[in-house]
Amino acid sequence: VVVPAYLAIFAISIAVGSAIAGWMSAGRVVLLPAPIGTLIIAVFGMDLAWSLWGLQSTAEAETIAAFFAGQNTIRVAIDLAGMAIGGAFLAVPTFAAMQSWAHEDRRARVIGAANVLSAVFITTGLALVAGLQAVGVQIPMIILGLSVLNIGIAWLMLVTLPTNPFRDFVSILFRAFMRLEVDGLENMKNAGKAPIIALNHVSFLDGALALAITEEEPVFAIDYKIAQAWWVKPFLKMCKFLPLDPTKPMATRSLIKIVQDGNPIGIFPEGRLTVTGTLMKVYDGAAMVADKTGSMVVPVRIDGLEKSYFSRLSGGQVRRRLFPKVKVTILEPVKLDVPAELKGRKRRIAAGAALYQVMSMLMFRTTDTSTTVLEKVIETARDRGMRRLAAEDPVTGSLSYGKLLTGAAVLGARFHRMFPEKTLGVMLPNANGAVATLLGVMTAGKVPAMLNFTAGSCNILAACKAA
């Protein structure tokens, strides 16, 4: 009965490890778990060898509970579970890479060949273990030897990985700590060869995030001042980048050459981090690269990192978090629509305007416009905190989100009882009371019609009639 118990632990642990490995990959090939899994097998294997060394037999145990009450039996189960999880870390990403990278017309043969090789290695390994046992080598010594061998294999795998280990590591970190969610990943694949990945710029982590979501590693256009920062240089050594000044037209020539060589590029058309939370000035350098090369532009919006401590938004603008939830939305690739007859500076301006239109549509299409004004205020209050400043005037002072929403609820209940009409005119001075009243009318389920009391009686009557 004990053997099936150990086998059950091993099987369940493989399932758990496979689920974790699949979660770490999340839609793209991430091979870093493979050497990590091999190292985990080695570590738990060495502990298993130590646990089995000199272990007394527990064959006389009559129940499973009595068996697991014996010396090191639970420790052996933990070691087996750890080795199973490590094995899943090794198997899942490597098989995913094999199936993803094998061409469709020979994928079945590749998988079949891999199974044949696995069978050959299993048979050879069993024969080797049987031979070692025949000459008197004990099981713990065999496990220890295999574990030491796995440490060397893990290192060899790490230095020969076909993917960028740093890129895989960043991808896992974003998924583990920032609950990364990616929508529209197929649009990246539909962009063809050497696309231009245009991202909004909200934090210093944007480049690392872009590296984590792309299947083919792009060359990043980095502001030359940022590239000189001491804390940036170690990270730049682990990826492809090109330092440039977005304000200088000559900088685009280097980018054009990179795209013409068949390399995708990642660029932030704004050229600087946002300080407002919205789209900043879009420089036309990236637009000229797209125009000159004919490459597709893939618009990508990053949401969430502006709430991290790596953004340039102040604490009053957003509620900062150590690990905010991050969402990336990738829209369909597009080509810039620039009239063919335009030349020189006019063409550059038109290309820049076309790219600005693409980025503006990115922000519009990825913004939830289905919520009401009241729902948005409540959402903002929950995000920033009920005690945060919501409104302020020179007469009545400041009003927090909590007080504003409380006032709106009280007024809403009263408006609902007082007025049967569906539309209510609101004519108040520009002060805290006007804000609370406006939200109160909405809370009552009615439509507020804002009236400007300085417009004069005729205009106010016309506005009432229109409302």
Contact 37, 86 (CB under 8 A): yes
Q: How many CB atoms lie within 10 A of CB 298?
A: 26
pLDDT of 66 > 80? The answer is: no
Helix (H, G, I), strand (E, B), or coil: what is residue 3? helix
Kindly tell me the burial class for residue 418, based on how many C-beta atoms sit within 10 Å of its own C-beta (0-12, 13-18, 19 or more). exposed
Question: Which pTM value belongs to this model?
Answer: 0.75
Predicted confidence at residue 60, as pLDDT, reads 64
Work out the pLDDT band at 37, boundaries 50, 70, 90.
very high
pLDDT of 343 > 70? The answer is: yes
pLDDT of 457 > 70? The answer is: yes
Predicted confidence at residue 369, as pLDDT, reads 82
Q: Could you report the per-residue pLDDT of 167-203, keeping only the tens digit for each?
A: 889 888 898 888 889 999 889 888 888 899 999 999 9
Stretch among 310-324, 366-380, 442-456 having the lowest mean pLDDT: 310-324
Work out the pLDDT band at 345, boundaries 50, 70, 90.
confident
Distance CA 365, CA 85 (A): 41
pLDDT of 65 > 80? The answer is: no
Beta strands in 5-87 (DSSP E): none
Q: CA nearest 334: which of 296, 287, 361, 293?
A: 296
Distance CA 348, CA 339 (A): 11
Predicted confidence at residue 84, as pLDDT, reads 95
Predicted confidence at residue 112, as pLDDT, reads 92
Q: Could you report the per-residue pLDDT of 402-424, keeping only the tens digit for each?
A: 999 999 999 999 999 999 999 99
Predicted confidence at residue 252, as pLDDT, reads 76
Q: Could you report the per-residue pLDDT of 216-242, keeping only the tens digit for each?
A: 888 888 877 777 777 777 877 778 888
Predicted confidence at residue 359, as pLDDT, reads 93
pLDDT of 58 > 60? The answer is: no
Percent helix, strand and coil across the chain, each rounded to 5? 55, 10, 35
Predicted confidence at residue 47, as pLDDT, reads 93
The residues that are catalytic are: 201
Predicted confidence at residue 27, as pLDDT, reads 65
pLDDT of 21 > 70? The answer is: yes
Which residue reads 């990943």 in tokens?
185
Q: Provide the angle, in degrees to the nearest 10, between the axes of the packed helices 107-134 and 139-159.
A: 150
Distance CA 225, CA 247 (A): 12
Q: CA nearest 290: which of 222, 342, 226, 358?
A: 358
Q: CA nearest 181: which of 304, 337, 75?
A: 304
Query: Per-residue pLDDT averaged across 120-129, rounded?
Result: 92
Distance CA 252, CA 355 (A): 15
Q: CA nearest 256: which of 288, 219, 220?
A: 288
pLDDT of 346 > 60? The answer is: yes
Contact 47, 72 (CB under 8 A): no
Predicted confidence at residue 187, as pLDDT, reads 92
